[in-house]
Amino acid sequence: MFADKDAIAMIAVKDLDAAAKFYGDVLGLEKLDSPEQQVMVFRSGTSKLNVYRSEYAGTNKATTLMWNVGSELESIAARLKAKGVAFEHYDLPGLTLEGDIHVGGHMKVAWFKDVDGNILSIVSGQEAL
């Protein structure tokens, strides 16, 4: 039913202006025109992210969005850190923390939060999952 349909991520935020700076300036996503004033649409590759205002922003305690960045993981993590992004460190079975990057088997992943506490991540080696 949905195998050939595009999915759109929905990310709740409290402050659209702060989110615009984070998703546009820090993460470098292209902001697209949006007919709604309460929703911002960003392009990430061939995907779209709808960032919208909600009182429930940041209440999800799990990863909201992940980018598979392949061999660029370390360089992207360094660029994010240079822009003031703080990485999350978790104690997870099968993963070892190397700096800000969790490593396990053929996978590397780094988690960080947006301005409202939504958990985002960059990953390398995710193809096998």
Across 1-31, b (16+ Cβ under 10 Å) vs e yields eeeeeeeeeebbbeeeeebbebbeebbebee
Over residues 35-72, the pLDDT tens digits come to 777 899 999 999 999 999 999 999 999 999 999 999 99
Q: What's the predicted TM-score (pTM) here? A: 0.90
Residue 67: is it exposed, middle or buried by C-beta count within 10 angstroms (0-12/13-18/19+)?
middle
Nearest-CA neighbor of 37 among 60, 53, 61, 26?
Answer: 53
Break the chain into its structural domains and give their ranges: 8-128
**89: region left, alpha or beta (phi > 0 left; psi from -120 to 50 alpha):** beta
Over residues 66-102, the pLDDT tens digits come to 999 999 999 999 999 999 999 999 999 999 999 999 9
- Residue with the bigger pLDDT between 33 and 34: it is 33
Over residues 3-26, the pLDDT tens digits come to 888 889 999 999 999 999 999 999
| Residue 43: alpha-carbon gap to chain centroid | 12
Q: Where are the beta strands (DSSP E) in the chain?
A: 8-13, 30-32, 39-44, 47-53, 63-68, 87-88, 96-98, 101-104, 107-113, 119-124
CATH of domain 8-128: 3.10.180.10
